[in-house]
Amino acid sequence: MACYFFSQPLPHLFFYFVLFSSFIPFVFPLSTVSISETSNQTLVCALVHVPGATQSSLSCSSFPSGIQIPLNSNTSFSAIVGGDGFLCGLISLSPATSTLVCWRFSVNGTNMSYKRIYQDLALSQLEAGNSVTCGLVNDTNRLECWPRRKFNTSSVDQNFSSMAVGEDFVCGLLESGNITCVGSYNAVAIQEPKGIYRAIAAGSRHACAINFTGALDCWGMAGEKPPQGEFISMALGENRGCALRTNETVVCWGQGNFSLPERLRETYFSTIEAKRKVFCGVQKSDFSLYCWGNENFNPNSIVFKYVLPGPCRSACGPDGIIEGSGGWCPKGQQICRHSKSNIRNSVPPAVSPPPPPPTLETHQERCWSGKMIAFLVVGCVGSLILLLVVGFFLFKYCKCRGCRVHDSGRLDGTGPGAPVEQSGGPSQPHAPQTEEASPVLEKRLSQLASMGNAGHLEEFSLQVILEATNNFSHDKTIGTGSFGSVYQATLEDGREVAIKRAEISNTSSYADEIHRVLDARVPPPTPFEIEAVIYIGYLAADCVTLEGRDRPSMAGVVNSLEKALAACLVHPTSLSRSTTGGST
């Protein structure tokens, strides 16, 4: 299973793309070599150029011999992959559609079956594990795997730019360069390395990735530690692996001191593939295929000649095409150049690289910015609601307490124990009481007016009233009340109002003898009885004029009534001021 570069680097990694593009060969996302293992047999297949033909043909060889794949020479494949007991080929009917067909065979190569498993949008990458085949749908990079009963891709909600398939897991590179693995094998699926990577590969029970310094990072059942150096691609098997260096030589590592055969250590390769114990590579010079890894392969023997070093394409990048490859592909297609002639001697451009931490921090800041915006919005909404609630209660408080015109309060000196003004002679029995009650009455009336629900209370100066009534002219009089005359007036703003002027009346001498005027048979009240009536009157006023929440509670009502009753039961110790007048 080979690894491939993701095709679209992020903008903030542009420097690394420039740095490595000058000396890294182009790596193809579609493989032209496949390896299938079944029991003690290995089937190696490759897309081979036939001299004189305009398209490649699929050739397969079994080691040891025994597996025969019935092939149609008229079918042209663009990529092939293999696994345990199966071989799959990708047919590109058009640039927009692909068809995937597979052969399955038993241990001894018998019971061969052929089936088409996919025909839809074109696949940009095709990989196979030991039992599962997966592909990336072109344009959308959606992951599709077969058979679906073994690996359900409905739970994969991320699109990969490149992927690798292992045993019971799939790992993919996101467009950001991060790695995400899914599947039931937790040793790989939940232990992905953190960082930015450019290539990924998977073995049976482990995976490896190449970071942007060219170093290898492996996780899972990786066996021995991978070698140091700079690499451009990998091929992983079962507890072993091989990697292609930037100078296009191969190094291998793994369980049991696995290494590359001595014969191939100075050979330059275009691409490498692996499955379980077997590894194969296409030689760069003559495109011959060599395989190694078990006793069935002789590193000195060529498996196939003229193996396509890459898939046929309709367009190539700045490196151009491989000379003479136009005759290896259908009309209008060619094989793109996969390396430069001066790879080993190339020097990276002298560009001062930006430090990696700021790039990572920028990415993290972008991730955190979304969270910070959410917290900011929630905080602003909560603060606004709190301000509205506080403002509402302040408004209600000012309306009930702070917005009154006068600072009114309870009448002073009205309790049961308050001193009562006594008269010293019969000539002016009510004078002290009248003088004291007048300001108290005005204060109480002001309180009642300010506590009402009638609205705004406005005050006018005496000069304004005199001008409006023409100095209380008799022509302005529209009526007479018990305390004075009522005048019609027009204010400066055009409002018409009625103004009542309090006047001294002779009837005021009866104010303290109202009980005699109403019913002569009723005995005069004592001062304490008058106090009791005052308590009840104030209680009634508080119950009807205040707002509901400010009205007296039941305990307050009972307390006021008890005070009134206590005032009535007090035995008079002196004459009432009401009896010191001219009563007969």
| pLDDT computed for residue 38 by the predictor | 80
Three-state DSSP at 574 gives: coil
Distance in angstroms (rounded) separating the CA atoms of residues 288 and 265? 15
Q: Does the pLDDT of residue 228 top 60, yes or no?
A: yes
Q: Is the dihedral of CA 306, 310, 313, 316 positive or negative?
A: negative
Confidence of residue 198 (pLDDT cuts 50, 70, 90): very high
Domain 4-343: give its CATH code: 2.130.10.30
Comparing CA positions, the residue from 203, 195, 138, 198 lying closest to residue 168 is 203
Residue pair 61/289 in contact (Cβ under 8 Å)? The answer is no
Tally helices (H) and strands (E) across the chain. Answer: 8, 28
Q: Does the pLDDT of residue 250 top 90, yes or no?
A: yes
Across the chain, mean pLDDT equals 77
Q: Which residues contact 239 (CB under 8 A, 6 or more apart)?
A: 203, 204, 205, 206, 221, 222, 223, 254, 255
Q: What is the pLDDT of residues 76-104, one digit of tens each?
A: 899 999 999 999 999 988 889 999 999 99
Distance, first Cα to last Cα, the chain = 130
| pLDDT computed for residue 575 by the predictor | 43
Could you tell me the two tokens for 8?
């679209």
In this prediction, residues 502-516 reach a mean pLDDT of 59
In this prediction, residues 58-71 reach a mean pLDDT of 83
Q: Does the pLDDT of residue 168 top 70, yes or no?
A: yes
Three-state DSSP at 560 gives: helix
Distance in angstroms (rounded) separating the CA atoms of residues 119 and 102? 12
- Identify the bridge partners of residue 41 per DSSP, sorted by sequence position: 38
C-alpha distance from residue 494 to each of 490, 491, 497, 500 (Å):
6, 5, 9, 19
Q: Does the pLDDT of residue 432 top 70, yes or no?
A: no
Concatenating the DSSP letter of every residue in 142-179 gives: -EEEESTTTS-GGG--S--SEEEE-SSEEEEE-TTS-E
Indicate left, alpha or beta for 434 from its phi (over 0: left) and psi (-120 to 50: alpha): alpha
Sheet holding 143-146, edge to edge: 123-128, 133-137, 143-146
| pLDDT computed for residue 505 by the predictor | 59
Give the best-scoring range by mean pLDDT among 23-37, 231-245, 297-311: 231-245
Three-state DSSP at 81 gives: strand
Q: What is the pLDDT of residues 134-151, one digit of tens each?
A: 999 988 889 999 998 888
Selected residue with higher pLDDT from 402 and 177: 177
| pLDDT computed for residue 524 by the predictor | 74
Comparing CA positions, the residue from 70, 94, 83, 93 lying closest to residue 133 is 83
Residue pair 57/305 in contact (Cβ under 8 Å)? The answer is no
| pLDDT computed for residue 316 by the predictor | 80
Three-state DSSP at 38 gives: strand
Residue pair 484/498 in contact (Cβ under 8 Å)? The answer is no
In this prediction, residues 213-223 reach a mean pLDDT of 90
Distance in angstroms (rounded) separating the CA atoms of residues 121 and 123? 7
| pLDDT computed for residue 6 by the predictor | 38
In this prediction, residues 295-315 reach a mean pLDDT of 88
Residue pair 37/84 in contact (Cβ under 8 Å)? The answer is yes
Q: Does the pLDDT of residue 428 top 60, yes or no?
A: no
Q: Does the pLDDT of residue 46 top 90, yes or no?
A: yes
| pLDDT computed for residue 537 by the predictor | 85
Distance in angstroms (rounded) separating the CA atoms of residues 252 and 219? 17
Amino acid symbol at 437: A
Give the rounded percent of residues in the chain with a pLDDT score beyond 90: 34
Indicate the annotated binding residues. Answer: 500
Query: What is the per-residue burial (b if ≥16 Cβ within 10 Å, else e) of 430-464?
Result: beebeeebeeeeebbebbeebbeeeeeeeeeeeee
Selected residue with higher pLDDT from 368 and 354: 368
Distance in angstroms (rounded) separating the CA atoms of residues 32 and 268? 18
Comparing CA positions, the residue from 9, 348, 349 lying closest to residue 162 is 9
Confidence of residue 569 (pLDDT cuts 50, 70, 90): confident
Whether omega for the bond prior to residue 64 falls within 30 degrees of 0, making it cis, is yes
Of 80-89, 418-427, 533-542, the one with minimum mean pLDDT is 418-427
| pLDDT computed for residue 27 by the predictor | 47
Q: At 260, give phi and psi (nearest 5°).
A: -70, 140
List the beta strands (DSSP E) in 168-224.
169-173, 179-183, 197-202, 206-211, 216-220
| pLDDT computed for residue 98 by the predictor | 94
Q: Does the pLDDT of residue 331 top 90, yes or no?
A: no
In this prediction, residues 170-187 reach a mean pLDDT of 92
Distance in angstroms (rounded) separating the CA atoms of residues 376 and 169? 40
Indicate the annotated binding residues for ATP. Answer: 500
| pLDDT computed for residue 244 by the predictor | 94
What number of other Cβ atoms are within 10 A of residue 138's Cβ? 16
